Amino acid sequence: MTGGTLADWQERDAAHVMATYARAPLAFTHGQGTALFDVEGRPYLDFLCGLAVTNLGHANPAVTEAVARQAGRLVHTSNLFLTEPMLDLAERLARIIGWDDARSFFSNCGGTANEAAIKLARRWGKRQNPAKVRVVTLEGSFHGRTMATLEATGQPAKHVPFQPLLGYVDTVPFDNAAALRAAVTDRHCAVMLEVVQGEGGVRPVPDDVLHAAREACDDHGALLIVDEVQTGIGRTGQWFAFQATSVQPDVVTVAKALANGLPIGACIAHGDAAAVFGPGDHATTFGGNPVTAAAACAVIDTIESSDLLAAARERSAQLVQRIEEMAGDTPLITGVRGSGLLLGVTLDAPVARAVEHACRERFLVVNAVADDVLRLAPPLTVTADEIDLALSALTEACNHVGGSSTRGKA
Ligand code: PLP
């Protein structure tokens, strides 16, 4: 590391890193709890958590200690041999998901957890009927950027540069239970959905759609895959968002927050679905790596010992109440939606990017998840005072962008 200014870093980025991200003009060197510090040493309130990842805040001591301890002991062996942190994690996941017979496949991110789930479902389907390989997904969904998960992602603009795709997905409106029921046939091996669409604009999927998905899967021998990559590990105030519904999936995928920032994903199945894969069916060199698995165990233990699911629900209630009040008297803001600490602030104009920028100028990190929706995803450890500070910055940002005199509400 050579240090340097933001401009130096931007030049190095442009020279040698592929330009897949339109980055903000901001670079961070370290973090502590809800705070991120930029190259000038200025603190920002992090209400994005690296896209819903650092649920325990930055530099969480339990995670740091677990990583350091495991890194000093054993970093990697491959899955040709057993290591204990992976077993510890698989057992913890079975416990928190509430399935005694749960089995996990460990991957390296959300996209590869979903890729595993799609392959598992195809293997499941083909055992019944060679043509049973199709998957139903919802418009607005986001499941990843690999070729299979890109197609499962119900955002056609993302498909265009890479077409032709594999042609195995049927996409239905995210809020139409009847359309979903009608779309699932005996040629479908799975329905795949999020309980709250994160990248799709923090949109909760209606309850009747979740029930229709379960019923359609039962009627046609298909698997219900719930993608909890963004919602899992406490983000919504439950371990998994589906646990606040009465719908039980067959397969759940998780990633992002599982190791508080170290790369990991898991595809968790129960019942007959848990026994689909056999040796050679699927694999990845780093999956279940001892260091990331040790970090994930520390995450789960800390959420339990600090009662962070309850804390997330409490802080969520505070945020929702305050934002609903702001909707009455702050320019641009019309309301709030989402679940737990995955919230979308809705705006009355397509200016979310300008508000995101204005928040950054006020040392608050949030992001525009749609043209008219701002995503808030603070850590589960966020304090009431930090929420007050963040909402003051958001109010100022909306006043700045909306112009309180011309756009302000009566
Ligand atoms: N699934 C959902 C619901 C996501 O939100 C994301 C990422 O935003 C992914 C899958 C892909 O995860 P990753 O970027 O770790 O591959």
Q: Is the CB of 115 under 6 A from ligand 1?
A: no
Q: How far is the CA of 407 from the centre of ligand 1 (A)?
A: 36
pLDDT value at 407 more than 60? no
Q: What is the position in ligand 1's atom list of the atom closest to the CA of 256?
A: 15
Nearest residue to 106 via CA among 253, 279, 302:
253
Q: Is the CB of 144 under 6 A from ligand 1?
A: yes
Q: Is the CB of 386 under 6 A from ligand 1?
A: no
- Picking from 305, 326, 351, the residue at the C-terminal end of a domain is 305
Total count of domains within the chain = 2
Q: Is the CB of 194 under 6 A from ligand 1?
A: yes
Q: Are residues 248 and 119 in the same domain?
A: yes
Has residue 64 been placed in a domain?
no
Q: Are residues 188 and 329 in the same domain?
A: no
Q: What is the position in ligand 1's atom list of the atom closest to the CA of 146?
A: 16
* 248 neighbors 214 (Cβ within 8 angstroms): yes
Nearest residue to 138 via CA among 168, 109, 176:
176
Question: What confidence tens digit (pLDDT) does each residue in 311-361 have?
Answer: 999 999 999 999 999 998 999 999 999 999 999 999 999 999 999 999 999
From edge to edge, which strands make up the β-sheet containing 35-38? 28-32, 35-38, 43-46, 364-365
Helix (H, G, I), strand (E, B), or coil: what is residue 325? Answer: helix
Q: Are residues 210 and 326 in the same domain?
A: no
Average the pLDDT over 102-109 and give the result. Answer: 98
Q: Is the CB of 109 under 6 A from ligand 1?
A: yes
Largest interatomic CA distance in the chain: 67
Helix (H, G, I), strand (E, B), or coil: what is residue 374? Answer: strand
Has residue 34 been placed in a domain?
yes
Residue 3: what pLDDT? 74
| Atom 12 of ligand 1: nearest residue by CA position | 110
Q: Token match 């209400």: residue?
A: 47
- CA 322 to mean position of chain CA atoms: 24
Q: What is the position in ligand 1's atom list of the atom closest to the CA of 199?
A: 5
Q: Is the CB of 114 under 6 A from ligand 1?
A: yes
In this prediction the pTM is 0.97
CATH number of the domain at 377, please: 3.90.1150.10
Has residue 385 been placed in a domain?
yes
Nearest residue to 308 via CA among 371, 357, 243, 381:
381
Q: What is the position in ligand 1's atom list of the atom closest to the CA of 109?
A: 15
Residue 2: what pLDDT? 59
Q: Are residues 298 and 341 in the same domain?
A: no
The pair of structure tokens assigned to 365 is 């990190």
Question: What confidence tens digit (pLDDT) does each residue in 73-99 have?
Answer: 999 999 999 999 999 999 999 999 999
Nearest residue to 190 via CA among 222, 143, 230, 145:
222
Q: Which amino acid is at 79?
A: N
Residue 403: what pLDDT? 82
Nearest residue to 354 via CA among 337, 331, 371, 336:
371
Q: Are residues 125 and 209 in the same domain?
A: yes
pLDDT band at 406 (very low <50, low <70, confident <90, very high): very low
Has residue 69 been placed in a domain?
no
| Atom 10 of ligand 1: nearest residue by CA position | 143
Q: Are residues 33 and 110 in the same domain?
A: no
Q: Are residues 160 and 286 in the same domain?
A: yes
From edge to edge, which strands make up the β-sheet containing 251-254? 103-107, 265-269, 251-254, 223-227, 188-193, 134-138, 169-172
For residue 319, report the phi and psi dihedrals to the nearest 5 degrees. -60, -45
**How many of the other CB atoms lie within 10 Å of CB of 18?**
6
Q: How far is CA 131 from CA 88, 128, 134, 187, in A?
A: 38, 9, 8, 6
pLDDT value at 54 more than 90? yes
Q: Which residue of 20, 118, 143, 174 sits with most ligand 1 atoms within 8 Å of its CB, as the best mutation to test the pocket? A: 143
- Work out the angle between the directed axes of helices 384-402 and 308-329 (0-180°, nearest 10): 30
* CA dist., res. 241 & res. 259, Å (int): 18
The pair of structure tokens assigned to 210 is 């979740």
Q: Is the CB of 229 under 6 A from ligand 1?
A: yes
- Picking from 253, 278, 305, the residue at the C-terminal end of a domain is 305
DSSP letter (8 states) at residue 197: E
Q: How far is the CA of 301 from the centre of ligand 1 (A)?
A: 23
CATH number of the domain at 219, please: 3.40.640.10
Has residue 65 been placed in a domain?
no
Q: How far is the CA of 129 from the centre of ligand 1 (A)?
A: 30
Q: What is the position in ligand 1's atom list of the atom closest to the CA of 144?
A: 11
Q: Is the CB of 111 under 6 A from ligand 1?
A: yes
For residue 172, report the phi and psi dihedrals to the nearest 5 degrees. -125, 160
Q: What is the position in ligand 1's atom list of the atom closest to the CA of 141?
A: 3
| Atom 1 of ligand 1: nearest residue by CA position | 143
Q: Is the CB of 142 under 6 A from ligand 1?
A: yes
pLDDT band at 4 (very low <50, low <70, confident <90, very high): confident
Helix (H, G, I), strand (E, B), or coil: what is residue 37? Answer: strand
Domain that holds residue 202: 74-305
Q: Are residues 322 and 210 in the same domain?
A: no
